């Protein structure tokens, strides 16, 4: 009976998403509609789709895994997600990105950077990094969804990968960005409801928050202190990599491209902050899971196991739908970005291919299916923990795109040569640092963005000095 409940709830939910894809496909007339919804999306849909795309199954499963592993200090990660990753991002980036991308008729980050700096090399390098590492990020998303399905429905991990992945590929290829934002809007509400349900029931069953703190402290005082057993270097690094890094993440920045005008950004900022507050809950639930299930084989099983032990079948089914919803919204957003970037930035602009708008739309749809299939294939044998995979991908992408994007919208004199050098050195530094397993406990993202910042600043200022001296 329990398994049947899960199957019915999940089947109904997936069917609704597929129907949304079919319905929204009627709105697709060109690549602009497929990639950014024709810049017609309202503030509520934009804001809540931003929340769903940001937090995904990576936050729910991966964040819970880190809460299980490191304790309540990880709540600071959730807080930074809200304040830095959402509120400040909307305030600092939203208006300028919306305005400048419309002026340059850009549909991807790479296309905007290439036009802003008048540099094909900048566009190509950005597009290549985004394409390669967003596929890796997609692997972590699918893994998170499949872990939840595996535990809660008692079916093989491989089946969980295929169930979650194939439905997303269908509605993205059919409905494009309209399907992505509208399914994400629905998914945000389901994700929020599922997290609130699990948290409230879990706290009641263990005797409240004070009891949870006491029980965690009895296991290890490091689970309730800051920075606790993790240490400052690890905690601060992860706060930055999953918060500031979002400013350079294409699947989130694209929301500013698509919002219908800058006047509604203020409403969106309030909505996104309120919705993002649920980011603290997976870390708290992960710490609670340490009390209930102290000897799990993998931290990524913490939230699924807590759900199974705390919620009745219908509650567990709702929470499972929330995990799937969160993962699908992000996976879908990434598919839109990677397929559009592949077709426009690499195939059309970098390789110089010419085709009609109708052909471009057809290619984008095909590319989304191909990229999705590659992500699913890799996810069948994933390389590590959900949040660790995410942090790896985010570190390289953000080290490449963060400063070129931020300087590109705020500092007109930024040097194109310094920008390209910053992107290359930032990405290389992040990769090398991560391969060395984060020396001094500092994440590769910190090293990558620090190196990239130094290069873009010094390169631009020294270039200006050289020009002044020459005059």
Share above pLDDT 70 across residues of the chain, in percent, rounded to a whole number: 95
Q: Are 169 and 183 a contacting pair, CB within 8 Å?
A: no
**Distance, CA of 131 to CA of 356 (rounded, Å):** 23
pLDDT digits (tens, 9 = 90+) for 221-232: 999 998 888 888
Confidence of residue 235 (pLDDT cuts 50, 70, 90): confident
Cis peptide leading into residue 401 (ω within 30°): no
> What's 41's DSSP letter?
B
| Angstrom distance (rounded) from CA 206 to CA 192 | 21
Q: What is the pLDDT of residue 133?
A: 86
Transcribe 312-351 into DSSP letters: -HHHHHHHHHHHHHHHHHHHHHHHHHHHHIIIIIIIIIIT
3-state secondary structure of 259: strand
pLDDT of residue 382: 66
- Confidence check: pLDDT of 466 > 60: no
pLDDT, tens digit, 9 for 90 and up, residues 130-186: 888 888 878 877 877 787 778 777 788 888 888 878 877 887 777 777 877 887 788
Q: Which CATH number fits domain 2-395: 3.20.20.80, 3.40.50.1000, 3.30.870.10, 1.20.1730.10?
A: 1.20.1730.10
Per-domain boundaries in the chain: 2-395
Quick one: average pLDDT of 106-110?
A: 88
Provide the pLDDT confidence category of residue 471 given band limits of 50, 70 and 90: very low
Q: Where are the alpha helices (DSSP H) in 71-156?
A: 75-80, 89-103, 109-116, 120-153
**Rounded distance between C-alpha atoms, residue 160 and residue 150, angstroms:** 6
- Residues 314-343 have a mean pLDDT of 78
Q: Quick count: other Cβ atoms within 10 Å of Cβ 333?
A: 30
How far, in Å, CA of 190 to CA of 201, rounded? 17
**CB-count exposure of residue 469 (10 Å: 0-12, 13-18, 19+):** exposed
Token representation of residue 85: 């990753």
Condensed to tens digits (0 to 9), the pLDDT of residues 298-312 reads: 888 898 889 888 988
- Cα dist. 437→62, 74, 272, 386, 408 in Å? 19, 20, 34, 16, 32
Whether the model pTM is above 0.95:
no
- pLDDT at residue number 185: 83
> How much is the CA Rg of the chain, to the nearest whole Å?
22
Q: What is the pLDDT of residue 57?
A: 66
In angstroms, the Cα distances linking 244 to 105, 239, 315, 399 are 26, 8, 34, 10
Residue with tokens 């007339």: 29
Q: pLDDT grade, residue 9 (50/70/90)?
A: confident
| Phi, psi dihedral angles at 155 (to 5 degrees) | -125, 160
**What rounded mean pLDDT belongs to the chain?**
85
Condensed to tens digits (0 to 9), the pLDDT of residues 14-73 reads 788 778 777 777 777 777 777 777 788 888 888 988 888 787 666 788 889 899 999 999
Distance of CA 96 to the CA centre of its chain: 21
For 377-422, write each residue's pLDDT tens digit.
888 876 655 556 767 787 899 899 999 999 999 998 999 999 999 9
DSSP string covering 171-218: HHHHHHHHHHHHHHHHHHHHHHHHHHHHHHHHHHHHT-HHHHHHHHHH
What average pLDDT does range 452-468 have in this prediction? 81
Q: DSSP secondary-structure letter at 297? A: S
The model's confidence at residue 467, banded by pLDDT at 50, 70 and 90, is very low
Q: Residue 257: which residues within 8 A CB-CB, separation 6 or more?
A: 36, 39, 97, 98, 101, 106, 107
Nearest-5° Cα angle at 136, 134 to 142 = 100
pLDDT value of residue 107: 85
Q: How far apart are CA 415 and CA 323, in angstroms?
A: 43
pLDDT, position 135: 82
């Amino acid at each position: 009976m329990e398994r049947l409940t899960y199957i019915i709830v999940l089947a109904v939910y997936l069917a609704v998403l597929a129907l949304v894809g079919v319905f929204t496909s009627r709105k697709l007339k060109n690549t602009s509609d497929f990639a950014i919804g024709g810049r017609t999306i309202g503030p509520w849909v934009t804001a809540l789709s931003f929340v769903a795309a940001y937090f995904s199954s990576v936050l729910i499963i991966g964040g819970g895994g880190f809460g299980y592993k490191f304790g309540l200090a990880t709540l600071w990660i959730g807080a930074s997600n809200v304040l830095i990753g959402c509120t400040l991002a909307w305030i600092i980036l939203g208006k300028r990105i919306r305005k400048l991308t419309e002026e340059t008729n850009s549909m991807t980050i790479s296309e905007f950077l290439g036009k802003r700096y008048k540099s094909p090399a900048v566009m190509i390098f950005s597009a290549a990094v985004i394409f390669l590492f967003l596929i890796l990020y997609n692997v972590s998303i699918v893994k998170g969804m499949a872990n939840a399905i595996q535990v809660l429905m008692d079916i093989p991990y491989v089946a969980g990968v295929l169930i979650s992945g194939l439905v997303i590929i269908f509605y993205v290829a059919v409905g494009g960005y309209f399907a992505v934002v509208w399914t994400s809007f629905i998914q945000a509400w389901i994700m929020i409801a599922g997290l609130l349900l699990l948290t409230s029931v879990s706290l009641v069953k263990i005797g409240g928050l004070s009891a949870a703190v006491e029980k965690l402290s009895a296991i290890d005082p490091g689970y309730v202190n800051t920075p606790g057993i993790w240490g400052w270097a690890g905690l601060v690094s992860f706060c930055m990599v999953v918060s500031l890094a979002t400013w350079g993440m294409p699947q989130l920045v694209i929301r500013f491209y698509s919002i219908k005008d800058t006047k509604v950004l203020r409403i969106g900022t309030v909505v996104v902050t309120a919705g993002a507050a649920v980011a603290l809950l997976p870390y708290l639930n992960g710490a609670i899971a340490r009390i209930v299930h102290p000897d799990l084989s993998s931290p990524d099983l913490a939230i699924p196991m807590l759900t199974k032990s705390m919620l009745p079948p219908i509650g567990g089914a709702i929470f499972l739908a929330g995990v799937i919803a969160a993962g699908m919204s992000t996976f879908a957003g990434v598919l839109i970005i990677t397929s559009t970037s592949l077709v426009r930035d690499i195939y059309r602009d970098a390789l110089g291919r010419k085709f009609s708008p109708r052909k471009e739309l057809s290619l984008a749809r095909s590319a989304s299916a191909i990229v999705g299939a590659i992500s699913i294939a890799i996810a069948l044998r994933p390389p590590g923990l959900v949040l660790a995979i995410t942090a790896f991908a985010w570190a390289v992408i953000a080290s490449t795109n963060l400063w070129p994007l931020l300087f590109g919208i705020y500092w007109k004199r930024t040097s194109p040569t310094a920008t390209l050098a910053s992107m290359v050195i930032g990405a290389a530094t992040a990769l090398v640092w991560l391969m060395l397993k984060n020396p001094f406990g500092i994440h590769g993202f910190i090293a990558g963005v620090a190196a990239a910042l130094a290069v873009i600043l010094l390169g631009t200022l020294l270039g200006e000095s050289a020009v002044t001296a020459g005059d």
